[in-house]
């Protein structure tokens, strides 16, 4: 269990907002535990997805993870508080985009839009142009209506125009395609890939089209990340990076089977120290733990008050409550931290995509 190590490491550090600190984890589970611990200690923690790709893979199959990567890095670079970047080992095997490519477009009510410029910008930023928006990363222009599902948002948005002036901004439902009644003052649009200028987009597009990799479609969605070159950097060098746990065996296996774009030498990092005073706590009976440690500082973590009320705690006296959707269970000579939250298994949703030329006569769709 690594949470005690992370807890003591982060408790002893005074990380400033402008510091670029990266914790490298074995896998997504370890990254989530690290993220929860950092959040408990009031860091703004940004966890990258576990992007398990091999050189030359068609990245359309990993679009969910790539969208999550872009959203997390955008949020990290635009955060001005005390922050921390957390990444699984395999995500760092390829260069990741530089900070300069995480910009946004701000559109406000009553703003005047230059339609052709907006279309070109969204195209260069990786948005897919469709008739009906049904997925994140899509945009539709239909007369005086713009529908868009931006990254970093849980809903799609509809902009109604009068000529080129924004008349109203509303959310809309993907299934019914109906707009909400509530009007919004503004909308922020993140890149669906990266915030490229035309020349940068065309340079990447040209590299991809000349690719010798064995994929059916040679476009930016499929191969873009393999050819970022000057648009990306080795995060192990541009950040102050540390191992959360011993990664030697994982690295040995990876580099014996594959040839990642990041050289193995970049992973020769220090590991955070083992905890000296804190240990992991198995929570079977919270009341028994609280009673036997009543002389200590006791903190209960819960997603909301409803979970606390339904927890059957014998007493709320002398207990500090933290309302966060995290799981941290630790004990030391001075304190006890108990989480009432339970792990939730996330369902992985893949974007459906069919390339007609890949279908054969007799295939059932």
Residue 362's pLDDT band, with cuts at 50, 70 and 90, is low
Residue 103: name the closest of 17, 16, 192, 18 by CA.
192
Residue 205 lies in a domain: no
Same domain, 11 and 88: yes
Residue 153: name the closest of 139, 166, 171 by CA.
171
Same domain, 256 and 297: no
How many structural domains is the chain composed of? 3
pLDDT tens digits along 313-322 = 998 889 999 9
Same domain, 351 and 298: yes
207 in Cβ contact with 231 (< 8 Å): no
pTM: 0.91
Residue 213 lies in a domain: no
Q: State the residue range of the domain holding 69.
A: 3-99+229-267
Looking at residue 110, what DSSP letter applies?
Answer: T
Helix (H/G/I), strand (E/B), else coil: 188: strand
Give mean pLDDT, residues 284-303: 95
What the block records as the tokens of 174 is: 């993907």
pLDDT tens digits along 245-271 = 999 999 999 999 999 999 999 999 999
Separation of alpha carbons 36 and 327, rounded Å: 6
Q: The domain that contains 142 carries what CATH number?
A: 3.30.2060.10
Separation of alpha carbons 153 and 272, rounded Å: 34
251-259 long-range contacts (CB < 8 A, ≥24 apart) are 251/89, 254/89, 254/90, 254/93, 258/54, 258/55, 259/55
257 in Cβ contact with 103 (< 8 Å): no
Helix (H/G/I), strand (E/B), else coil: 145: strand
Same domain, 25 and 172: no
Mean pLDDT (the chain) is 93
pLDDT score recorded for residue 142: 94
pLDDT tens digits along 123-158 = 999 999 999 999 999 999 999 999 999 999 999 999
């Amino acid at each position: 269990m690594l949470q005690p190590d992370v807890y003591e490491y982060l408790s002893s550090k005074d990380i400033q907002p402008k510091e670029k600190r990266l914790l490298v984890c074995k896998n997504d589970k370890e990254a989530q535990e690290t993220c929860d611990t950092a959040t408990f200690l009031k860091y703004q923690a940004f966890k990258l997805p576990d992007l398990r790709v091999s050189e030359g893979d068609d990245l359309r199959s990993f679009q969910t993870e790539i969208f999550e990567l872009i959203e997390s890095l955008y949020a990290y670079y635009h955060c001005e508080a005390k922050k921390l970047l957390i990444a699984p080992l395999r995500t760092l095997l390829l260069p990741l985009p530089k900070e300069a490519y995480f910009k946004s477009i701000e559109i406000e009510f009553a703003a005047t839009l230059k339609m052709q410029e907006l279309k070109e910008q969204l195209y260069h930023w990786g948005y897919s142009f469709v008739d009906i928006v049904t997925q994140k990363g899509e945009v539709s222009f239909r007369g005086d209506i713009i529908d868009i599902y931006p990254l970093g948002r849980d809903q799609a948005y509809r902009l109604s125009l009068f000529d080129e002036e924004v008349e109203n901004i509303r959310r809309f439902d993907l299934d019914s395609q109906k707009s909400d009644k509530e009007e919004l003052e503004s909308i922020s649009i993140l890149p669906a890939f990266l915030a490229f200028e035309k020349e940068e987009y065309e340079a990447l597009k040209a590299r991809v089209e000349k690719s010798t990799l064995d994929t059916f479609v040679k476009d930016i969605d499929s191969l873009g990340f393999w050819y970022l070159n000057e648009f990306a950097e080795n995060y192990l060098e541009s950040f102050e990076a540390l191992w959360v746990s011993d990664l030697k065996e994982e690295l040995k296996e990876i580099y014996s089977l594959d040839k990642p774009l990041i050289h193995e030498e970049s992973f020769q990092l220090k590991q955070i120290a083992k905890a000296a005073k804190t240990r992991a706590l198995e929570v079977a009976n919270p009341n028994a733990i609280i009673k036997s440690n009543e002389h200590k500082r006791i903190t209960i973590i819960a997603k909301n008050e409803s979970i606390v009320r339904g927890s059957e705690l014998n007493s709320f006296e002398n207990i500090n409550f933290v309302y966060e959707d995290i799981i941290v269970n630790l004990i030391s000579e001075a304190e006890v931290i108990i989480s009432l939250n339970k792990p939730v298994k996330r369902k992985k949703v893949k974007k459906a995509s069919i390339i007609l030329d890949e279908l054969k006569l007799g295939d059932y769709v």
